[in-house]
């Protein structure tokens, strides 16, 4: 009788044990899920922050070239890969930063997710800085390429050519070409003031042609020479003013890059302390 009662009791013990396991296993398992999910997101933030940080040296090199007044068009074009890489990393960082932060599941601890919010905020700021830096440097690149042909003309005569009518047609074509170049001249934020000066100079070009043609027609060589000198001086003045603008841009953007580097280093160190040293 006693053996039969004991046999009947064992199934209930097994049922209770299984029930306890079902109830308490998640409590033991859930903390690990929070840690694993937080660590996975931390790795995404770390990779994006680190990727941006790795591009800054090449970005600074591109800045040096783009703000060097004597840089040739080919050298300017060679900065494009570095700008594209920074743009790609900035876009990647933006996409990750725009994702909502993971939340703890019911009954799971939320503490492992704590360090993620500052990291995401730092990533969002870094993405914005990278995007604005690329925009500014691409603007400088496009501006310099376009400006390279503004008010640059072949040697013009001091005496009227034999076929004066054809020569006037050539000057008219030159005027149209300069207006077309002006229409394509970008107006980047960092060079907006210089672009206005270029616009004024090209606006004077149409009147300049009329004065130059009149001087040639009447054989006024001194006036023709003065007008040619004015054209050369105008181009030189614009080049010197652009060099000064480029020097200021170099200081401004380089300071921005250095601040970004410090911010990235700080964010990376905080993540590594929380998810490596701290073992969250």
The tens digit of pLDDT for each residue in 29-72 reads 455 577 888 888 999 999 999 999 999 999 999 999 999 999 99
Neighbour tally for 27: CB within 10 Å: 10
DSSP E strand boundaries for 136-224: none
Q: Which of 46, 44, 59 is nearest to 260 (CA)?
A: 59
The contacts found for 218-226 with CB under 8 angstroms, 24 or more apart, are: 219/159, 219/160, 221/158, 221/159, 224/158, 224/159, 225/158
3-state DSSP assignment of residue 268: helix
Choice among 17-31, 64-78, 132-146, 225-239 with the minimum mean pLDDT:
17-31
Which residues contact residue 88 at a Cβ distance below 8 angstroms, ignoring those fewer than 6 apart?
none
Q: What percent of the chain has pLDDT over 70?
A: 84
Reply yes or no on whether the pLDDT at 20 is more than 50: no
3-state DSSP assignment of residue 166: helix
- Output the average pLDDT for the chain: 88
The pTM assigned to this predicted structure is 0.83
**pLDDT given for residue 11 in this prediction:** 57
Evaluate whether 240 touches 69 at the Cβ level (below 8 Å): no
Choice among 64-68, 98-102, 176-180, 223-227 with the minimum mean pLDDT:
98-102
Q: How far apart are CA 141 and CA 75, in angstroms?
A: 10
Q: What are phi and psi of 163, to 5 degrees?
A: -95, 80
For 58, counting Cβ atoms within 10 Å of its Cβ (0-12 exposed, 13-18 middle, 19+ buried), the class is middle
């Amino acid at each position: 009788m006693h053996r039969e009662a004991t046999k009947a009791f064992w199934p209930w013990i097994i049922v209770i044990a299984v029930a306890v396991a079902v109830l308490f296993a998640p409590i033991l398992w859930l903390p690990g899920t929070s840690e694993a999910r937080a660590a996975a997101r931390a790795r995404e933030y770390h990779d994006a922050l680190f990727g941006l940080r790795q591009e800054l040296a090449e970005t600074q090199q591109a800045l040096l070239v783009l703000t060097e007044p004597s840089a040739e068009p080919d050298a300017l074009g060679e900065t494009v890969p570095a700008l594209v890489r920074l743009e790609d990393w900035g876009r990647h960082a933006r996409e990750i930063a725009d994702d909502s932060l993971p939340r703890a599941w019911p009954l799971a601890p939320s503490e492992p997710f704590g360090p993620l919010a500052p990291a995401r905020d730092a990533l969002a700021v870094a993405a914005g800085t990278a995007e604005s830096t690329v925009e500014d440097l691409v603007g400088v690149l496009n501006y310099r390429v376009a400006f390279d042909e503004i008010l640059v003309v072949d040697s013009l005569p001091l005496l009227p050519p034999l076929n004066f009518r054809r020569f006037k047609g050539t000057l008219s074509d030159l005027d149209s070409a300069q207006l077309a170049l002006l229409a394509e001249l970008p107006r980047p934020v960092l060079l907006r003031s210089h672009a206005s000066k270029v616009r004024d100079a090209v606006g004077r070009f149409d009147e300049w042609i009329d004065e130059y043609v009149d001087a040639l027609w009447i054989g006024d060589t001194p006036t023709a020479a003065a007008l040619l000198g004015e054209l050369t001086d105008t181009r030189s003045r614009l080049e010197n003013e652009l060099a000064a603008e480029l020097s200021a841009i170099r200081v401004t953007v380089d300071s921005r890059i250095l601040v970004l580097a410090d911010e990235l280093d700080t964010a990376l160190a905080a993540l590594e302390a929380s998810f490596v040293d701290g073992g969250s």
